[in-house]
Amino acid sequence: MTENSTRARSRKPTAPRTARKAAPKDEKAPEEKGAVGNLERLQKILAGAGIASRRKAEEYIVQGRVQVNGQIVTELGSKADPIRDHIRVDGKRIQPAGEYRYYMLNKPKEYVTTASDPQGRPTVMQFFSRMRLRMFPVGRLDYYSEGLLLVTNDGELANTLTRAASHVPKTYLVKVSGVPAEAALEKLRRGISISLGDSNFREGRVRTAPAEIRLFRQGDNPWYEITITEGRNRQLRKMFEEIGHHVEKIRRVGYGPLVLDVSPGEYRELTDREVNTLRRSVRK
């Protein structure tokens, strides 16, 4: 008997390895020892995924519409890991934060900035219909306005940008009918009282924040470059109506640090640098 065969016989048999059972599709696999989860409140996760505002997300939780790893969660304050856990709302799994996308769209006129329209008008979301992610516009431009519109699935950033306290500057080119007097423009620069709704009396009035205004192009119907930090419904149109001038065209050309650089009806994805700069532009 050779030396090699003696060694082969002396080895102890190795126990067969037990295959690790895979976790069901909608359940979380056991965490590896030492792994640390990134737990966040459920309402924050839902808001960040663009499902709803935090307050609305709390209602979804209480109503039993939210599941975590196959279990219905109804207790406010419950936490989950947005990456590892399987979170569903009304049976539909939400997208993890790692799939956030940010786009600059040049909105053409005669499109609405909503997901759908009861009047059957075209919406800006038609430009993103082939994406599997649930995208939505940040803020709004009215039906006849055009220009820069931020579109994303990052609900947390969207909510931060659109709230009044963010003070993110938005720059527009506005064409008006007739030439406003310099004294009238000065009223707009200081802030002017406008109606909150379509009626001057039904929904009250509010005073606008100061605006930056400069002549962009001379003419019988001149263009002005205007920068404001608010985004009230039809604000620019109402401001000029207060000084007796009709707004013919509105084009948004800047949003915070972003400058419009695509053609009408086209969009591009923001760079990481642009997204980070946009985040830093929000006043806390």
Contact yes or no for 274/205 (Cβ under 8 A) = no
Rounded-to-integer distance, Cα 249 and Cα 40, Å: 44
Chain position carrying tokens 């008008």 = 121
**Total domains in the fold of the chain:** 3
Asked if residue 111 is part of any domain, the answer here is yes
Catalytic residue among 142, 154, 198, 272: 142
Please report the pLDDT score of residue 162 as a whole number. Answer: 82
| Same domain as 251, residue 199 | yes
Please report the pLDDT score of residue 110 as a whole number. Answer: 94
Asked if residue 187 is part of any domain, the answer here is yes
Asked if residue 115 is part of any domain, the answer here is yes
Contact yes or no for 173/223 (Cβ under 8 A) = yes
| Same domain as 77, residue 122 | no
Look at residue 21 and tell me whether its pLDDT is greater than 60: no
Domain of residue 69: give its range: 40-94
Q: Which residues of 171-182 are buried (b: 16+ CB within 10 A; e: fewer)?
A: bbbbbbeeebee
Instruction: Name 152's bridge partners.
Output: 102, 136
pLDDT tens, 144-190? 999 999 999 888 888 888 876 568 999 999 999 999 999 999 999 99
| Same domain as 142, residue 128 | yes
Nearest residue to 231 via CA among 158, 123, 136: 158
Query: ∠ CA(13), CA(14), CA(15), 5° rounding?
Result: 115
Distances from the Cα of 76 to the Cαs of 15, 41, 57, 92, in angstroms?
48, 8, 10, 20
Q: What percent of the chain has pLDDT over 70?
A: 82
Tell me whether strands 223-228 and 170-176 are parallel, antiparallel or unpaired: antiparallel
Confidence class of residue 239 from pLDDT cuts 50, 70 and 90? Answer: very high
Look at residue 114 and tell me whether its pLDDT is greater than 50: yes
Look at residue 36 and tell me whether its pLDDT is greater than 50: no
Q: What percent of the chain has pLDDT over 90?
A: 54
- Map residue 243 onto helix, strand or coil: coil
Q: Does the active-site annotation cover 142?
A: yes
Please report the pLDDT score of residue 3 as a whole number. Answer: 47
DSSP assignment string, 133-165: S--EESS---TT-EEEEEEES-HHHHHHHHSGG
Overall average pLDDT of the 209-236 stretch: 95
Asked if residue 26 is part of any domain, the answer here is no
Asked if residue 224 is part of any domain, the answer here is yes
Distances from the Cα of 165 to the Cαs of 4, 137, 209, in angstroms?
80, 19, 12
> Is 0.85 surpassed by the pTM of this model?
no
Contact yes or no for 256/270 (Cβ under 8 A) = no
Overall average pLDDT of the 70-94 stretch: 88
3-state per-residue secondary structure call for 47-111 = HHCCCCCHHHHHHHHHCCCEEECCEECCCCCCEECCCCCCEEECCEECCCHHHCCEEEEEECCCC
Asked if residue 208 is part of any domain, the answer here is yes
Rounded-to-integer distance, Cα 229 and Cα 211, Å: 8
Query: ∠ CA(197), CA(201), CA(203), 5° rounding?
Result: 40
Please report the pLDDT score of residue 96 as a whole number. Answer: 61
pLDDT tens, 5-14? 444 444 444 4
Look at residue 197 and tell me whether its pLDDT is greater than 90: no
Q: Which residue has the higher pLDDT, 105 or 202?
A: 105
Chain position carrying tokens 């856990």 = 85
Please report the pLDDT score of residue 100 as a whole number. Answer: 85
Q: What CATH code is carried by the domain that includes residue 231?
A: 3.30.70.1560
Task: Please report the sign of the dihedral spanned by the C-alpha atoms of residue 115, residue 120, residue 122, residue 127.
Answer: positive
Q: What CATH code is carried by the domain that includes residue 89?
A: 3.10.290.10
Asked if residue 265 is part of any domain, the answer here is yes
Look at residue 191 and tell me whether its pLDDT is greater than 90: yes
Please report the pLDDT score of residue 219 as a whole number. Answer: 96
Look at residue 93 and tell me whether its pLDDT is greater than 70: yes
Nearest residue to 51 via CA among 27, 82, 13: 82
Distances from the Cα of 15 to the Cαs of 6, 33, 45, in angstroms?
21, 23, 45
pLDDT tens, 255-283? 999 999 999 999 999 998 999 899 888 86
Q: Which residue has the higher pLDDT, 269 or 20?
A: 269
> Ranked by mean pLDDT, which of 52-56, 117-121, 224-228 comes out on top?
224-228
Asked if residue 85 is part of any domain, the answer here is yes
